[in-house]
Chains A and B, each alone.
Chain A
Amino acid sequence: MARAVTAALERTDIAADDLGYINAHGSGTGQSDPAETNALRLALGDAVATVPVSSTKSLHGQTLEASGVLELIVTLLAARKGMLPVNAGFLGPDDQCRLNLVLGEALAVTAEFAMSLNAAFGGANTALVIGLP
């Protein structure tokens, strides 16, 4: 996942702190969420403290092979509206998942660039960066 994030940023030719939003894979499992957190901390460096992150799977479910396109659409809409979805169903902080999570209510931001992350069974990881025109 870290390699995918790094490669996507390099291809977009933007810095990590240019990202205004990350829609995480965030499937809510005990292994996947900490692994994704570690990947983001590795790939984003200091920017991980400021880039807002949320997973929307608790809203629309784990849609498996549809996750990539569904969450890319969510990411696009969030960036276009300048309103980031919350981590719905958040129960409390997890030391293994220390990210700048969107909590409580939707967050109004200007996100010129946003990233959608997904991980698949078998070890495939994707990081898609979108930019507003």
Chain B
Amino acid sequence: MTPPASVASPALAALRAAAAAVGLTVSSSASWPETDADGEVTALAGFIESNFSPLLAEVAGRALRGRDRPPAPGTVTAIVIVTALGDITSAARVAAAVDAGARVPPLHFFQSVPNAVAGYLAARWHLTGPVVCVSGTSAGLDVAALLIEDADADEVLVVRVDLAVTDGDRDRAAAILVTGPADRERHRIA
């Protein structure tokens, strides 16, 4: 049986390049689609009608599961979400409902803020660090470096989501887990 073919991820390459530019070390990474077997993303309870949050949760989970060793007790992990346009699918649904005078589903209010899913991630993976949402990849890694430098976090999960905006395109996401350069010495082994 032929294994699934891997799919290039420009977003992941951009995240890696931005991490290198600020001197951060990538300890794990993931993307969507990672292979041509990545079709429909798994739904996420509490989030509806948009792939934004499910995709973000999926690549974040892949990156966290891909660690080469479990985090030491007390490790503080921050979350930085990078998204240029946010959850445009949800925004479009809300706009359409408002324009039509229809009732907007309450869950759309909740997920209208791109970092709402960060709360799910924090609870699911016991991530206790700060949450930040920015619009650019370089800015995201700048924030990650600052969080580590300020000792607000031991490591930072940086997740980028790009929903498709044109016909024929597909939703994409990538995640990296980064630590500071000095972290190699003080990294606590579980």
Q: Which residues of A contact B (CB under 8 A)?
A: 64-65, 120-124
Contact = CB atoms under 8 A, between A and B. Distances in A.
B122 A122 contact: yes
A2 B127 CA distance: 18
B110 interface: yes
19 contacts: A65-B86, A65-B114, A65-B133, A120-B115, A120-B131, A121-B110, A121-B111, A121-B116, A122-B115, A122-B117, A122-B118, A122-B122, A123-B119, A123-B122, A123-B123, A124-B115, A124-B118, A124-B119, A124-B131
Main secondary structure of the interface of A (DSSP, over half): loop
A122 B130 CA distance: 12
A119 to B, nearest CB: 11
Interface residues of B, number: 17
Residue in B86, B117, B119 with the greatest tally of chain A CB atoms within 10 Å: B119
A122 B112 contact: no
A123 B113 CA distance: 12
B86 A122 contact: no
B112 A64 contact: yes
Contacts of A65: 86, 112-114, 133
A24 B157 CA distance: 29
Contacts of B120: 122
Residue in B111, B116, B123 with the greatest tally of chain A CB atoms within 10 Å: B116
A74 to B, nearest CB: 19
Contacts of A124: 115, 118-119, 130-131
A34 to B, nearest CB: 20
A18 to B, nearest CB: 22
Contacts of A120: 113, 115-116, 131
Q: Which 4 A-B pairs have the closest CB atoms?
A: A122-B119, A121-B116, A123-B119, A124-B131
Contacts of A123: 118-119, 122-123, 131
